[in-house]
A and B are shown apart, each in its own frame.
Chain A
Amino acid sequence: MNIVVCIKQVPDAESVKWDHEKGTLIRDGVQSVINPFDYNAIEAALTLKDELGGKVTAVTMGPPQAQDAIREAMSMGVDEGVVVSDRAFAGADTLATTYTLAKAIQKIGKVDAVLCGKQAIDGDTAQVGPGLAVRLGVPCVTCVGEMEIVDGGKGLRLKRMCEQGYDVVEVAFPMLLTVLASLNTPRVPSLKGKMRAKKAEIPLWSAGDIGAEEGKIGLAGSPTKVFSTHIPKFEARREMLQGSVEEQVDTLIEKFKEAGII
């Protein structure tokens, strides 16, 4: 089985600070971490490898320091990894991103399964997974909450979670899945994995390396672009109630009545 897992480095939500006066992001000291859902995707990829054999390759599109993300994936057991990195990719929206990732995966070779996290916590679009499936010409199942190998290893039975419950679907390999945090508990890294990751050579592939057309990558390949941005102000009254516990509870109930809640 040839398995690919797509990962993304995102700013660590805890270290992101906002200068509300200026309306800007304070980037000093912001750590980059692997997108939380991608850990579940890595675990799903490793589980498939444990059961069906084969190789897991991690792919990420980002600056050269995204190699750290690949190394972290390798410390969990991923076999190989590659960073697709080029100034020309800058400004990419999801359409250009899926094109770039698809070219990279095609360079890796024939793939049986592609695992992605449901969405990245910085973009929050959840568009790359399904878009990538179209580029690769494979069926896509999103929001996977449970996974079971069926048909002698030729396919999977999956729970596709939705608002009211879930659908049980079956798909044959090859396929692309986007996974939820509830699918599994990502395994901790291993010492042997960390040591292997440290020594591993992680190639940086440029646009030329993956045979990408200029007009389909980066800003040129992005139909959507940012027109403007602003930081929303949160109207918080921040009224700390006073008095004894009983008095505070009574005041709160009064506030609820005023607001028409009860």
Chain B
Amino acid sequence: MSKVNYFLTEEQQMIVDLARQITEEKIIPVRAKLDETEEFPWSIMKDLAQADLFGLYIPEEYGGLGGGCFENCLAVEQMAYGCIAITTTFAASALGGYPIYLYGTDEQKAKYLPDIAAGKRLVAFGLTEAGAGSDAAAIKTTAVDEGDHWVLNGTKQWITSGGEAEIYTIIAMTDKAKGARGASAFIVEKGDEGFSFGKKEKKMGLRASSTRELVFNDCRIPKDRLLGKRGMGFIIAMRTLDLARPGIGAIAVGLSQAALDESVVYARQRVQFGQPIISFQAIQHMLADMATQIEAARALVYAIARTIDAGAKNFSKLSAMAKLFPTDVAMKVTTDAVQILGGYGYMKDYPVEKMMRDAKILQIYEGTNQIQRNVIGQALNKEYARR
């Protein structure tokens, strides 16, 4: 039976094959255990580093592969087929690395990107706070210029890989009065004076991913840690999220595919009323809707990722779509998967209950799906104003 031909180049196909191999050989065998123990997947990060996958988006001159958003999407889609907690740990390092890649000075890029490309040091992105989730502008962490260094004070909440990563890109307020121009981006390193971590959060899903508070208590960092120009903080955050969001869409596609595969295999084996349940229309229709939505989500993510890589300007609306649709699909598909597997689906013996628990976060992090709708709606408003 034909599959959709996405016309991948040889190199892109290599990325898919390699990521798939790692998923099958390394991720799938341990996903249930890591979910149970909430252990950080260090050995898989090592394998991904060995595979050169951390450097997908990093320019060749810094030891990377010089690929774009699409290459990243291809890799994380395959990994998400195995486990999105492990994939998020990998993808979050890109989220944290993008600001340096996009806005770093040559010195900063030379200092950090090679280690990031080699997977030697993980990166985390710190924006969210207790009082500033969707309302990012309400952040309260401050950064004060004290002559030869910056001093940060405040707390970031729910930061992926907090405590495990070595490099952190942090958004902090430098001039409250300046509104949209009031924040700046900084590079903070594990071990910097006054930088510590809160306890690890216990979560519904995504349990192998470490989520912690970042605590800045008179945290002193050298002047050269300012990323981009003072006041560009929110812009840097937005551009970073725009580039990363299709990746979340790709993660959602991979997860959905895994849930679909489990469902079809089960429906063909499970016999009730003398027939495999896949012969009942109720099940067939569910599977048909799941499969079609997944393919639509995949096509959307791929098209948008390629558009971004082709040099599109102002792609916030597209990014938001690439995140919004597939993640809603993932929640529905994984829930349906549990339904199709019935009682077995609810048991931890089978992988779909974890997939459903994990799927929820996709609709929440990197901008809730409500915020994504806002972004799209506002963009439409602006677009049509010019017509």
Contacts and interface: CB of A to CB of B under 8 A. Distances in A.
A interacts with B: yes
B28 to A, nearest CB: 14
A187 B18 CA distance: 12
A191 interface: yes
A190 B10 contact: no
B50 A192 contact: no
Which among A192, A193, A194 has the greatest number of chain B C-beta atoms within 10 A?
A194
B53 interface: yes
Interface string A167-200: 0000000000000000000011111111100100
B26 A188 contact: yes
Interface in B1-57: 10-11, 14-15, 17-18, 21-22, 25-26, 47, 50-53
Interface residues of B, number: 16
B14 A188 contact: no
B137 interface: no
A190 B50 contact: yes
Contacts of A198: 10, 14
A195 B18 contact: no
B187 to A, nearest CB: 27
A189 B53 CA distance: 11
B283 interface: no
Contact of B22 (A188, A192, A193): A188
Nearest to B14: A194
A191 B10 contact: no
B50 A195 contact: no
B235 interface: no
A50 B257 CA distance: 39
Contacts of B26: 188
Counting chain A residues whose Cβ lies within 8 A of the other chain, the interface size class is 10 to 19
A207 B47 CA distance: 39
A192 B14 CA distance: 10
B232 interface: no
Contacts of B18: 188-191, 194
Contacts of B11: 195
B14 A187 contact: no
A190 B22 CA distance: 11
Contact of A190 (B17, B25, B51): B51
Contacts of A193: 52
B65 A191 contact: yes
A189 B15 CA distance: 11
Interface in B275-321: none
Contacts of B25: 188
A198 B26 CA distance: 24
Nearest to A186: B25
A192 B10 contact: no
A6 to B, nearest CB: 23
A170 B290 CA distance: 60
Interface string A79-122: 00000000000000000000000000000000000000000000
B10 A187 contact: no
Contacts of B50: 187-188, 190
Contacts of B15: 191
Contacts of A191: 14-15, 18, 51-53, 65
A38 B73 CA distance: 33
Interface centre among A187, A188, A190, A198 (most CB of B within 10 A): A188
Contacts of B65: 191-192
Contacts of A195: 11, 14
B359 to A, nearest CB: 27
B66 to A, nearest CB: 11
A25 B26 CA distance: 32
A190 B53 CA distance: 8
A198 B21 CA distance: 17
Interface in A40-84: none
B245 to A, nearest CB: 24
B55 to A, nearest CB: 8
B103 to A, nearest CB: 26
A102 B380 CA distance: 71
B357 to A, nearest CB: 28
A194 B47 CA distance: 15
Contacts of A194: 14, 17-18
A189 B50 CA distance: 7
A190 B65 CA distance: 11
A192 B56 CA distance: 11
A193 B17 CA distance: 13
A191 B15 CA distance: 7
B21 A188 contact: yes
Nearest to A75: B18
Interface in A115-145: none
A188 B10 contact: no
A191 B47 CA distance: 12
Nearest to A197: B14
B21 A189 contact: yes
Given A188-B25, A192-B52, 18 more contacts: A187-B47, A188-B21, A189-B18, A190-B52, A191-B15, A191-B18, A191-B51, A191-B52, A191-B53, A191-B65, A192-B65, A193-B52, A194-B14, A194-B17, A195-B11, A195-B14, A198-B10, A198-B14
Q: Which 3 A-B pairs have the closest CB atoms?
A: A191-B52, A190-B52, A188-B47
Interface of B: 10-11, 14-15, 17-18, 21-22, 25-26, 47, 50-53, 65
21 contacts: A187-B47, A188-B21, A188-B22, A188-B25, A188-B50, A189-B18, A189-B21, A189-B51, A190-B18, A190-B51, A190-B52, A191-B14, A191-B18, A191-B52, A191-B65, A192-B52, A192-B65, A193-B52, A195-B11, A198-B10, A198-B14
